[in-house]
Structure formats: structure tokens, C-alpha cells
């Protein structure tokens, strides 16, 4: 598959079985006095190629040239700098407990430094999106899942007096700090798998038999749990730009998970989480849903996008499993003021290649695309027992604990085909809506046609806060978790 990146355009599928990219054309010089001719415009297009067998891996190719004359017999990529779509936040992956431990503990200092520069540095693939589990996920080195306020069974701590991120100080925070030193503008999203067990009806981190519901009495403590996490991470030097209330809500899991319906998430966001963030004067964005593309499950996200919670959401987060990327456009059409991100996709267990994922997600309004683990060992782990690894899963890199070295996977180079050439928006003073469409620019209601991708060569900078100022519906209901009866749509990550 060939993909062309031109004038800040995002990759567009053309043909074949490889991936290519073109750098931005030079902006015309300022207009000279009327008597002088205009300065020439460079039409040269740099090309970088990655093939599926990695015989070419981010390899420079002979230059191409922009032309106004249509060649015969080949697909054409039309670049129209007069039309703008979403503003890109970034491409990247997840710094899971597993990934951070492998990078920090299983590599030599020199190899670790080389890897981090390869992932986040300008001489590497310059990743600029990171997802961080808030507590344990299924990819956790320890056989015992953890949260930031664990207590013996039967005890509770609604005041969160025992809250501590001590676990993360060993290797997660150091690796996040290393990434942010290479690129301070990385967009970091924190996602919760499970709150402390004492907040849940099953008094357990898991969600077996879908019994791990959030107790009615612990909606406010959970909101404060998010606040404490954000404040503790900020004090440790890691700014978390956005959070998701629950990863794959309602999915039955042996690892940490939570049963949270659409109505429950709506009430939690509107009446607890958003007010808690405002009271703490935190500008953290909230992305709802954080689940798969399957058509049976996206009504969860659609109901959030059209509910009272939409005013408090920055956007909707989805995962690439089961369904099709067109689901993103469906959600965008439900509320175009909401941002769309793909927060998880694990290479090896989906029908999409990474290049397909990046191209189709961005063409369906995604502003960020994140793969799952940044690093895994050769067996696809380590993972929390009773899981036994994910033999078909691959990380962005593979870390070998025996040789203490790393090897980039195909996903690394395919990510680089976009992340190295599509610069994310930086904070600035230009006017923009929350969805990234500049004020006064055309507001498309659907993605560009299959043969066309359009981006501006001079995008307007976004605001420094990711919080939206776009007016949204103001309807409110004093929803109570004690009276909620709506059940969630069930979804499960594909088995390895």
C-alpha cells in the first residue's frame, strides 16, 4: 500500500503493497513589490518508503514532483490547501506497566537511551501520543493487579488517605519522563481499567460475570481519585492532557475491568468527574467510551455524544477491534464538535495493518491514533496471570530479556511513515474550534473522497487548553447511580 504525505496532508491509500510519504512543499515567499515577479515555488516532493517485508524501512527514495498535469493510467492524489479537516494531535502507543518495565529493567542504559530516542526523538520516528493505564491493565508484570489505593478486603477509604502512585515511581514515571524530555509536547491520555476494589460491587479489580460495578456511594471518591492521579503525575513532571473514565466499559475480564453502562458513564462524567476537575482547576480533557468499533457497541458512544455529558466531553475514544473505521465518522456526525481519537489497536490480532489503521482512521476524522504496547517480549508479554501472553500480539518494538536488546517491528516503521512527517498541532493563539477546524474555514460533514486528501499548508494553531469553548447542549439531569437501570452493551477484545 502506498501512502503519500504532502503539504501536511495525511496518508491516502493509492495502490500496491508498500508505504511511502512525501514531505511538505515549500511555502511561497512573501509577495514582492508589484513590479517584481513572484518568487518560485518548489515542487519537489521527498519520498520515504517502507515495505511489508522491511527490505525498505523508512528508506529515502528518488524525489517526485508536484504537477498540474494529470498523468495517465495511475491514481492521482489531489492536494487542496483551501480545505481543512481535523487538527492532528499525534501518533503513538501505550506505556503499559509491561512496556515500561521491559524498557527500564531489561535493556542496558545505552540501549534504553537509543530506544527512547528512536521512539520519541527527532532522529527517530518522533511519536507524539502516549496512553497510560491509571493503575494496572492486563499487561502488568506483577501477577497481582494494583491500583493507587489498595486495601485489605472489607476495608474502604472514601477520603483517599492511602492514595499513592509509589508503584509507578519505579519504572513507569521514569520512562514517561524520558519521553517528555525528548518531546515535551507529547499528548498523554490516562485510561482507567479498574478503580480500587473497595469501590466496586464485587470487591475485586476484575469484572468476572460483569459483576464489577462502581458502587453508588463511590462516584464522588472515584472522581477525586482521578483528580489525585492528575495532580500526583503533574507533581512528578508528567502532564496528562486527557483521561478516559473506563477502558472498554462493560467488558467481562479476568484482569482489571469495570462494568459501566452508558447511563452510568454519562452520570459520572456530568455530575462528578467534570465538576471535580473544574473545582481542582484542571484543564484535563475527558474522552468518553474508550471501546471497540463493533456496530453492536458503538451505540454506547453515540448515546454519550448525544447526551447531557457531551458538553463535558472533549471527545470520544475508540479501539480498532471487530468493527470498521467508518464508525469514527458515524460518531463524528453525531456531534462534530467532539474530537475523535483511536486510543488502542494491538497489531497482530486485528485484520488491519498499521498502515491501513492510520490511513483509514485519519480519513474518518481521528485526530490521534495509538497502538497498544510500545514494547513486548518475544512471547507477547509479560502479562498478568492467569493470562499467558498474547502470541499474536506485537509491540512497536520487541525487547529480548536474554540479550537485553530491542528490535523494531513493522509497526515501528509504519507508524513512522506518519509520525515523522505529519507534525501535530502545538499550543498557539490562533482561533480554532474544539474539533480543530479553524474559525471561518469550511466545515466538512464527511471525510474527503477516497481519492483525495486535503490539508492546509498553514494550519491555524490550537488553543493551549484542550478543553473546548464551543457551545454544546446544556441540558442537565440530576442522574443518580442508585436508580440507574440501563445495562451496557457487552464488548470483548479479540482473543489472542
- pLDDT single digits (tens) 156-170: 999 999 999 999 999
For the chain, the average pLDDT equals 81
Instruction: Identify the CA nearest to 237 among candidates 343, 287, 165, 286.
Output: 165
- In a domain? residue 220: yes
Q: State in Å, rounded, how far the first CA of the chain is from the last one.
A: 26
Judged against a pLDDT cut of 70, whether residue 301 lies above it is answered with yes
Residue 256 falls inside a structural domain: yes
Reported pTM? 0.81
User: What does the pLDDT read at residue 245?
Assistant: 98
Total domains, the chain: 1
Confirm whether 346 is domain-assigned.
Answer: yes
Is 315 among the domain residues?
yes
Q: Which domain holds residue 162?
A: 90-419
The 10s digit of each residue's pLDDT in 232-244 is 999 999 999 999 9
Is 25 or 250 the better-scoring residue by pLDDT? 250
Are residues 431 and 80 in contact, defined by beta-carbon separation less than 8 angstroms? Answer: no
Residue 437 has pLDDT above 70, yes or no: no
Which residues lie closer than 8 Å to 236 by C-beta, 6 or more apart?
165, 168, 169, 173, 177
Cα–Cα distance, 127 to 237 (Å, whole number): 19
The C-alpha cell at 161 is 488517605
- Cβ atoms 268, 213 nearer than 8 A: no
Tell me the mean pLDDT in the region 249-264: 93
Within 13 Å and on the Cβ side, how many CA atoms surround 330? Answer: 16
| Percent of the chain whose predicted confidence (pLDDT) is above 90 | 64
Report the C-alpha gap between 493 and 427 in whole angstroms. Answer: 35
Neighbours of 413 (CB within 10 A): 25
Q: How many Cβ atoms sit within 10 Å of the Cβ of residue 235?
A: 9
What is the DSSP code string of 14-74? Answer: -SSSEEEEEPPPPPPPPP--TTSPPPP---EEEEEEEETTSSSSSEEEEEEE--SSPPSSS
| Residue 85 falls inside a structural domain | no
Residue 486 lies in a domain: no
Task: Compute the average pLDDT of residues 126-140.
Answer: 97
CATH number for the domain spanning 299: value is 3.20.20.80
Q: How many residues does the chain have?
A: 496
* Lookup result for grid cell 519505579: 170
Q: Of 322, 361, 323, 364, whose CA–CA distance to 343 is shortest?
A: 361
Q: Cell 516503521, residue?
A: 413
Phi, psi of 239, rounded to the nearest 5 degrees? -85, 120
Is 380 contained in some domain? yes
Grid-cell match 480500587, residue found: 196
Q: 80 in a domain, yes or no?
A: no
d(CA 248, CA 268): 16
Cell 537511551 -> residue: 113
For the stretch 162-191, pLDDT in tens is 999 999 999 999 999 999 999 999 999 999
Amino acid at each position: 500500500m502506498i501512502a503519500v504525505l504532502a503539504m501536511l496532508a495525511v496518508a491516502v491509500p493509492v495502490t500496491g503493497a508498500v508505504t511511502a510519504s512525501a514531505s511538505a512543499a515549500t511555502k511561497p515567499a512573501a509577495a514582492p513589490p508589484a513590479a517584481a515577479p513572484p518568487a518560485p515555488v518548489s515542487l519537489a516532493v521527498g519520498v520515504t518508503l517502507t515495505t511489508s517485508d522491511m527490505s525498505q524501512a523508512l528508506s529515502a527514495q528518488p524525489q517526485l514532483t508536484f504537477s498540474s498535469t494529470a498523468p495517465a493510467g495511475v491514481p492521482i492524489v489531489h492536494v487542496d490547501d483551501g480545505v481543512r479537516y481535523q487538527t492532528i494531535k499525534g501518533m503513538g502507543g501505550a506505556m503499559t506497566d509491561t512496556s515500561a518495565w521491559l524498557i527500564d529493567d531489561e535493556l542496558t542504559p545505552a540501549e534504553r537511551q537509543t530506544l527512547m530516542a528512536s521512539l520519541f526523538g527527532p532522529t527517530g520516528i518522533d511519536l507524539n501520543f502516549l496512553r497510560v493505564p491509571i493503575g494496572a491493565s492486563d499487561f502488568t508484570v506483577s501477577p497481582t493487579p494494583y491500583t493507587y489505593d489498595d486495601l485489605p478486603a472489607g476495608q474502604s477509604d472514601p477520603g483517599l488517605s492511602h492514595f499513592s502512585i509509589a508503584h509507578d515511581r519505579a519504572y513507569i514515571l521514569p520512562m514517561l519522563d524520558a519521553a517528555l524530555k525528548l518531546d515535551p509536547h507529547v499528548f498523554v491520555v490516562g485510561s482507567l481499567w479498574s478503580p480500587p476494589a473497595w469501590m466496586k460491587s464485587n470487591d475485586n479489580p476484575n469484572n468476572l460475570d460483569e459483576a464489577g460495578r462502581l458502587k453508588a456511594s463511590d462516584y464522588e471518591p472515584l472522581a477525586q481519585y482521578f483528580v489525585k492521579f492528575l495532580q500526583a503525575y503533574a507533581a512528578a513532571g508528567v502532564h496528562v492532557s486527557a483521561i478516559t473514565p473506563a477502558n472498554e466499559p462493560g467488558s467481562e475480564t479476568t484482569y482489571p475491568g469495570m462494568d459501566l453502562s452508558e447511563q452510568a458513564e454519562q452520570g459520572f462524567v456530568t455530575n462528578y468527574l467534570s465538576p471535580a476537575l473544574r473545582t481542582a482547576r484542571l484543564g484535563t480533557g475527558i474522552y468518553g467510551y474508550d471501546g471497540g468499533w463493533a456496530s453492536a457497541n458503538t451505540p454506547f458512544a453515540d448515546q454519550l455524544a448525544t447526551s447531557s455529558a457531551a458538553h463535558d466531553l472533549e471527545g470520544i475514544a475508540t479501539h480498532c477491534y471487530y468493527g470498521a473505521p467508518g464508525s469514527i465518522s458515524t460518531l463524528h456526525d453525531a456531534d462534530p464538535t467532539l474530537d475523535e481519537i483511536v486510543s488502542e489497536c494491538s497489531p497482530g490480532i486485528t485484520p488491519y495493518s498499521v498502515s491501513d489503521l492510520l490511513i483509514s482512521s485519519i480519513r474518518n476524522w481521528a485526530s490521534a491514533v495509538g497502538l497498544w504496547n510500545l514494547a513486548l517480549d518475544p512471547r507477547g508479554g509479560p502479562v498478568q496471570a492467569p493470562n499467558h501472553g498474547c502470541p499474536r500480539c506485537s509491540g512497536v518494538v520487541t525487547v529480548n530479556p536474554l540479550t537485553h536488546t530491542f528490535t523494531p517491528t513493522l509497526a515501528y516503521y509504519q507508524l513512522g511513515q506518519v509520525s515523522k512527517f505529519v507534525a501535530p498541532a502545538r499550543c498557539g493563539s490562533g482561533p480554532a474550534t474544539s474539533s480543530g477546524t479553524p474559525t471561518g474555514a469550511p466545515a466538512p460533514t464527511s471525510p474527503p473522497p477516497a481519492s483525495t486528501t486535503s490539508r492546509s499548508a498553514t494550519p491555524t494553531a490550537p488553543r493551549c487548553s484542550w478543553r473546548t469553548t464551543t457551545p454544546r447542549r446544556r441540558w442537565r439531569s440530576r442522574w443518580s447511580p442508585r436508580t440507574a437501570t440501563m445495562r451496557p452493551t457487552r464488548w470483548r477484545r479479540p482473543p489472542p
